[in-house]
Every structure is written in structure tokens, then in C-alpha cells.
């Protein structure tokens, strides 16, 4: 049997506030993650989204798969606010999710407050370098 490095999908199986962001990643639950993240009811997942990538509906498939447990989705679009494309907003709305785009810093702060209030919140956070 061949042995080698096993690469697994990045996933923290719980809900946790985001302690810090910047330098291309995030800190949460005494861990750090390089790259973007999805904070969902099923846990915190690595997200292959970068600041320049389009925010089309395909980028939110994992979010949509957990739509029954999400009322509000905070979308941290990077260092600047970028609106969500109409098709993305419509797909999320059809699934019962209210999407609110904002800068990643604002999304982190708002997510932490709503999480502490035990609201049905999720966050899609694009990593920023600053």
C-alpha cells in the first residue's frame, strides 16, 4: 500500500467567532487559516474565493446546501464593498437567505455579534491582505 500525504478539505466542525483577519487569512478557535472561509452552521470551511473572483451563484453552493439553517448571510467581499450580482442575490433569496455584502472587516464584526446573539447567521469571508 502506498503511503503519502493525505490532503483533506479544510473544515473546523463547529461555530466560532472570528478572532482576527488580515494578512491573507483568519484566526478562529485558537487556529489560523490562510485564505477565504465560509462560516456555516456545519462549521468553518476553507473557501477557494479570492478578492478578484466573481461572486456568482456557483461560489455559494455550499451556503445554499445549508439554507434551511441560515437566515442571514454576511458576505465579506474583501477590502472594499462589492455588490452581489443579481443572479446570486436571486438564488440566495429563493433559498430563504437574506444576503448582505460589505467589506470583510465589517462582515467579521457583524458576524461575531450575531453569532453571540445565537442568530441563524452565516458568513462568506474573502481574505484580505491588509
Q: Is the pLDDT reported for residue 7 higher than 50?
A: no
Backbone CA torsion sign across 14, 65, 72, 124: positive
Where exactly are the structural domains of the chain?
11-125
pLDDT, residue 3, reads 63
Residues 6+ apart with CB under 8 A from 3: none
Calculate mean pLDDT across residues 122-127.
Answer: 98
Rounded Cα gap, residues 55 and 58, in angstroms: 8
pLDDT, residue 14, reads 82
CATH numeric code, 11-125? 3.40.1230.10
pLDDT, residue 4, reads 59
Amino acid at each position: 500500500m502506498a503511503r503519502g500525504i493525505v490532503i483533506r478539505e479544510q473544515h473546523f466542525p463547529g461555530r466560532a467567532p472570528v478572532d482576527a483577519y488580515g494578512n491573507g487569512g483568519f484566526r478562529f478557535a485558537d487556529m489560523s487559516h490562510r485564505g477565504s472561509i465560509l462560516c456555516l452552521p456545519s462549521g468553518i470551511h476553507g473557501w477557494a474565493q479570492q478578492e478578484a473572483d466573481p461572486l456568482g451563484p456557483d461560489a455559494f453552493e455550499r451556503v445554499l446546501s445549508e439554507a434551511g439553517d441560515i437566515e442571514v448571510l454576511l458576505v465579506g467581499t474583501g477590502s472594499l464593498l462589492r455588490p452581489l450580482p443579481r443572479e446570486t442575490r436571486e438564488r440566495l433569496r429563493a433559498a430563504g437567505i437574506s444576503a448582505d455584502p460589505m467589506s470583510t472587516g465589517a462582515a467579521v464584526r457583524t458576524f461575531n455579534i450575531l453569532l453571540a446573539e445565537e442568530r441563524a447567521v452565516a458568513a462568506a469571508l474573502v481574505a484580505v491582505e491588509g
